[in-house]
A and B are shown apart, each in its own frame.
Chain A
Amino acid sequence: MCGIAGLIHRGKSSKVGHELQGMLQALKHRGEDSTGYALYGDTDGKNFIMRFKVGENVGEGSTSVAEDVSVYDERKKIVDSYLSEMGAKIVKEERILPYSLRYEIEYNKKDLLEFSQKIESIPGVEILSMGKSLEVIKDLGNAKMVCDRYNLDKLVGTHAIGHARMATESGVDIKSAHPFWGYPFSDVSVVHNGQLTNYWNNRRALENKGMRFMSECDSELIAVYIAQKMREGASLEEGMKESLIGLDGVFTYFVATKDSLGMAKDTMAAKPLVLYESDDLVAMGSEEIAIRSILPQEIDTYDPFDGEVKVWQI
C-alpha cells in the first residue's frame, strides 16, 4: 500500500525532520517495512552533503544477507581513497551506523555523474543522496524508529518528503526503500505510492542512455525518468507532466529539488492524495491524518484531480 507525505514552508524554516516524522508515523498503518526521509536542511550551500551506505541493515524482517562489519570498514576505506583521487576533500565525517555514513565534502566539479559512478563502482556501496541541501535517510522500521536512530528530530530546513513502505515488488532492504535520489542530479529526490506497469521497458531505454538503477523497485524509475528529462533540458514541471504519458500504471508521487516541491497524480487518480495549501505552508499526504499531525486545527484540504501536476517554490 505505502504512504507518502511532504511539506514545504514558504519564506521560513522549521523543524522539518520532526514534522515529517509526525506525518509519516500517522501513516505507519500503510506500511512500516521501511521509512525514508528526504530533508532539505538549512546549509551555507558551500559543500556537498553525501549520505551513503556501505552495507544493508540485516535486522529483523530484512531480506539482505548479513556481512561482517570489517567488510563495511574496507568499503569505507575505498570510498575515502576514491574521494581523494577525485579531488574531493572530506570536511566532516559521521558514521551514524556501521553501514550508514554522512560526509560533508568540498568538491568543485558540477557534473556528479562521473563522481557517482566511481563511488558506486565499489560493490555494496550506494550513494543515498548528494546535494548541498538534500539529505536522504532511509532504513528499516517505522518513521519514529528511523527518526530516533538517525536523530532527525532537530533538523531545521524548508521542505521535506518521505515514505512509509509496505514492500510488495522488491525486497525489505534500504536499497529498495524510498526516497530515491534523482541520480546524478544534485538535490533531487522522489517518493512514490503505486505501481508502474512499464517499468522494464522504460528501464532498458534509460539504461541505454547511461542512467543507473540500484534496485528493482519500480519507484526508482520515476527518479531516473525525471532526472533524464531534466538532463535533456526539461524543467521539473515539464518532466513531471511528460511522466504522466511516459509512465504507465497507477501512481501518486512527489519530487523535491533544492528550492521546490512537486506532486503528480496518474490519469486514473487511482492512488490517494490529500493536499493542504496556504500562503506559508503546503502539506500533503496519502491520508488527511498525516496533515493533521502538524495542523490539528480545522483546515481546508482537497484531493488533486486525475492527471494533475503541481509545483511549489520555497
Chain B
Amino acid sequence: MANLKNVTKKTKAQAMGMHSEVLTGRTQQKFFNPDEAENFYYFGTYDVDFNKRTDLDVKDMTAADANKEIDNLMSQGYGTIVIKNPQGKHSIGVGILNKLNLIFEGSLGYFGIGSCDGPIVRINGRVGWSCAENLMAGKVVIEKNAGSCFGAAIRGGDLICKGSVGARTGIDMKGGTIIIGGDAGAFTGFMMQRGRIIILGNVGINLGDSMYDGTIFVGGEIGSYGSDAVDAELTKSDQDWLKRKLKVAEIGENFDVSKMKKIVAGKKLWNYDNLEPTEKKGAI
C-alpha cells in the first residue's frame, strides 16, 4: 500500500483505488482528508458502544415510531440494535447519521435505510424500492433480493445485495459502490455521475444510459447498452480492486474478475463540452 502520509490529498484517494476517472468538465470535486476527520461531525449524534446490544420488535409500530425508538436507543448508548418483525414496512431505519450496527431480522418495504450516513446495516430478508437512497457512508448488506431504484443517488458507502435487484439500480448515483451478487434489471446506472456498480450476473437493457461518469462492471450478459455507455479496458488495477471489494462484500470471492466487462461514459453528451451555448454556436 502506498504511504498515505507522503502524498497529496488528491493522490491519496487515487492510490487507494478510490478514483480513476478523469473529469474533463467543470467540477467541484473535493477529497476527504483523514487528518481532518475530527472536524467532521453531525450535531446531535451519539456516542454508542457496539458491544451494548438490544432488540426492538416493530411488529405493531408505525415506521415513524420505529425510527424514533432507534434514535432513542442510540441516545442510551446502544451500538447494536436488532430489529425484529419488520414485515415489509416502509421507511424504516432512515436518517441515521451515526455509527451503529443495525440488523434487520426480516424484510423491508420501500425507502428502507434512506438518507443514512455511517451505520453498518445487515438485512436478513429482502428490500423494496429505493433501498439506501442517498446513502452517504457506511455499509448496507441485503441477504436476499432488492427492488427497483436500489441505491438511488448514493454518494458514498458500500451497498451490497447478495440476490438480484430490479430496474434503475444506482440511478443518479454520485459516489460509493453498489455490488450485486445476482442479476440487475433495465436501466442500471441510469444517469450515474460517479461511483462504481458491480454486477456478477446478467443485466437488462439500456445499461448505463446517459451516464455522466463512474464505472460499471458486469460479470454476465448485457441486455443492451444505453445512450453514451461504452466499453473500456479492464485494467490490472481494476481487477485488484474488484477482488478486494468482492472479498469485503462476502460474495463472489472466487469469481473470475478477469472476464468482467467494464462500462464507462463515452462523454459524448452535450454537457461534457466546456463551451458556453454562444461559444458552441461559433464552434459549429
Q: Are B186 and A302 in contact (CB under 8 A)?
A: no
B151: min CB distance to chain A, Å: 14
Cβ of A296 < 8 Å from any Cβ of B?
Answer: yes
A264: min CB distance to chain B, Å: 15
Contact check: which of A267, A268, A272, A292 meets B88 at CB < 8 Å? Answer: A292
Cβ of B157 < 8 Å from any Cβ of A?
Answer: no
Cβ of A83 < 8 Å from any Cβ of B?
Answer: no
* Chain B contacts for A145, CB-based, 8 A: none
* Chain A contacts for B212, CB-based, 8 A: none
Cβ of B77 < 8 Å from any Cβ of A?
Answer: no
Cβ of A269 < 8 Å from any Cβ of B?
Answer: yes
Tally of contact residues, B, Cβ under 8 A: 31
CB interface residues, B 68-124, toward A, < 8 Å: 87-90, 105-107, 109-110, 124
CB interface residues, A 270-310, toward B, < 8 Å: 270, 272, 274, 287-289, 291-292, 296, 298, 300-303, 305-307
Known contacts A302-B163, A303-B145: A268-B109 contact under CB 8 Å: no
Q: Are A288 and B126 in contact (CB under 8 A)?
A: yes
Shortest 5 CB-CB distances between A and B: which pairs?
A288-B88, A269-B167, A303-B166, A306-B186, A302-B145
| Closest B residue to A298 using CB positions | B106
Q: Are B164 and A302 in contact (CB under 8 A)?
A: yes
Q: Mark B49-84, 1 if CB is under 8 A from A, else 0.
A: 000000000000000000000000000000000000
* Chain B contacts for A267, CB-based, 8 A: 186, 205
Cβ of B144 < 8 Å from any Cβ of A?
Answer: yes
| Closest A residue to B89 using CB positions | A289
Cβ of B185 < 8 Å from any Cβ of A?
Answer: yes
Cβ of B156 < 8 Å from any Cβ of A?
Answer: no
Contact check: which of A289, A296, A305 meets B185 at CB < 8 Å? Answer: A305
Give 14 new A-B contacts, CB below 8 A, not counting A292-B87, A303-B185: A268-B186, A268-B187, A269-B167, A287-B90, A289-B90, A298-B107, A300-B145, A301-B145, A302-B163, A303-B146, A303-B165, A303-B166, A306-B205, A307-B186
Q: Mark A183-198, 1 if CB is under 8 A from B, else 0.
A: 0000000000000000
| Closest A residue to B85 using CB positions | A296
Cβ of B147 < 8 Å from any Cβ of A?
Answer: yes
Cβ of B176 < 8 Å from any Cβ of A?
Answer: no
21 pairs, A vs B, C-beta closer than 8 Å: A267-B205, A268-B167, A268-B187, A269-B167, A269-B168, A269-B204, A272-B128, A272-B147, A274-B128, A287-B90, A289-B87, A289-B90, A291-B88, A296-B87, A298-B105, A298-B106, A298-B124, A302-B164, A303-B147, A303-B166, A306-B186
* Chain A contacts for B167, CB-based, 8 A: 268-270, 305-306
Cβ of B252 < 8 Å from any Cβ of A?
Answer: no
| Closest B residue to A287 using CB positions | B109
* Chain B contacts for A272, CB-based, 8 A: 128-129, 147-148
Cβ of B125 < 8 Å from any Cβ of A?
Answer: yes
A267 to B186, CA, bound (A): 8
* Chain B contacts for A288, CB-based, 8 A: 88, 107, 109, 126, 128
Q: Mark B154-189, 1 if CB is under 8 A from A, else 0.
A: 000000000111111000000000000001011100
* Chain A contacts for B187, CB-based, 8 A: 268-269
Q: Are A289 and B88 in contact (CB under 8 A)?
A: yes
Total CB contacts across the A-B interface at under 8 A: 75
Q: Are A269 and B145 in contact (CB under 8 A)?
A: no
A305 to B204, CA, bound (A): 8
A266: min CB distance to chain B, Å: 10
Q: Are A301 and B183 in contact (CB under 8 A)?
A: no
Q: Are B166 and A305 in contact (CB under 8 A)?
A: yes
Contact check: which of A289, A296, A303 meets B148 at CB < 8 Å? Answer: A303
A270 to B148, CA, bound (A): 9
Which of B129, B146, B165, B167 gathers most chain A CB within 10 Å? B167
* Chain B contacts for A302, CB-based, 8 A: 126, 144-145, 163-164
A266 to B167, CA, bound (A): 11
B269: min CB distance to chain A, Å: 20
Which of A292, A303, A307 gathers most chain B CB within 10 Å? A303
| Closest A residue to B185 using CB positions | A305
Q: Are A269 and B186 in contact (CB under 8 A)?
A: yes
A269 to B184, CA, bound (A): 12
A270: min CB distance to chain B, Å: 8
A28 to B39, CA, bound (A): 46
A124: min CB distance to chain B, Å: 41
A290: min CB distance to chain B, Å: 9
* Chain B contacts for A268, CB-based, 8 A: 167, 186-187
Contact check: which of A292, A305, A307 meets B183 at CB < 8 Å? Answer: A305
A292 to B58, CA, bound (A): 14
A288 to B186, CA, bound (A): 21
A158 to B225, CA, bound (A): 42
A173 to B141, CA, bound (A): 45
A300: min CB distance to chain B, Å: 6
A267 to B205, CA, bound (A): 9
* Chain A contacts for B145, CB-based, 8 A: 300-303
